[in-house]
Amino acid sequence: MKASLIQMNSQGDKAANVAAAEQLIEKAVAEEKPDLVVLPELFAYLGVDPAQIHASGETFPDGDTYQRMSKLAARLKVTIHAGSVVERRGNRFYNSTVVFGPEGQELARYSKIHLFDVDVPGGASFRESDTISRGDEVVTYKLGDRTIGCAICYDLRFPELFRALRDKGADVIVLPAAFTLQTGKDHWEPLVRARAIETQTYFLACGQTGFFADGKKANWGHSMIVDPWGHVVAQASDGVGTTSARFDFKYLDTVRGQIPVANHHVL
C-alpha cells in the first residue's frame, strides 16, 4: 500500500480551495500512483468567523464538496481520505471526515471527538466548540485487507482514542490536521511519533500550512508519515505540496511481534 499526503494552505474561498485540492490530488496520483490520498483538516474552507464557518457547511451526501470528491475518487480509481469539512446535520455542525473508495462510494465518516478550546502561547485563543459539535464514534474502515483508523487534529493529544483504534484492528491511522504554528513547532512531531509507537501503526499526519484568516492565524504544516517504530519515513517541505511513502506490513508485523503491547493491556 502506498499513500500520498496533500499539504494545503486553505483560505476563506471554498471554491478555490476545493479546486486546489482536486489539482493536487490529480498531480499526486499521476506522479506517485498511490492507493490512498489524504487531505488536511478543513481543506474546503478555513476561517475563524462562526457565521462564515457555518455558511461553508454542507449536508452529506448532496453537498458540493462531497460530490466532487466522490466523483474524483471514481475517476482516478483511488481512495480519498478527504481531510475534513464542515458537515451540517439539522441545526448542528460537525468537523467531519469522509472517505471515498475507488468507485466513489463512501467508505467511512468520522466526526471530530475532541474540540480545540485553548489559549495557546502568544495570546491566540481558539474555541472550536463555539461553532462545532463533538462526535462520539470511534471509526475505522477497510482498504484491501488492512484496517485504517480515523482521527482529526486535536484528537492527537488523547492517546485513549488511538488505543481504541488499535484495539479495533487499525494497521494505519490517518490524522488530517490544521495544527497551530505556536504548538506545532514544539508538539507536532513528538505527538505524532508517540501515537505511532504506542499503536504500532503507520501514522499519516496531514496538515495545513502557512497563514490564513487574513494573516491573523498560522498553521505548522510538516505533514509526515511515521512507521510503527516511530521513524519519520516521509515529510513535506514548508509550503503547499505532497509527500508519499509505501508501507511495509511485514515490518509492522515484526514490530508487533517483538514488543506485543496490544497483549499487555491491564487497565
**Which sequence positions are flagged as catalytic?**
41, 112, 153
All three cell numbers of 219: 498553521
DSSP class per residue in 207-249? EBEEEETTTTEEEE---EEE-TTS-EEEEPPSSSEEEEEE--H
Contacts of 49 (CB under 8 A, 6+ apart): none
Q: What angle do CA 245, 226, 98 make, to 5 degrees?
A: 75
> Residue 77 in contact with residue 110, Cβ under 8 Å?
no
Tell me how far apart the alpha carbons of residues 25 and 7 are, in angstroms, rounded to a whole number: 10
Find how far residue 87's CA is from the centre of its chain: 15
Are 194 and 170 within 8 A, CB to CB?
no
Distance between CA atoms of 151 and 164, rounded to whole angstroms? Answer: 11
3-state secondary structure of 182: helix
Short-list 166, 176, 59, 158, CA closest to 113: 158
Contact by Cβ (8 Å): 35, 29: no
Cell numbers for 258, please give them.
Answer: 517483538
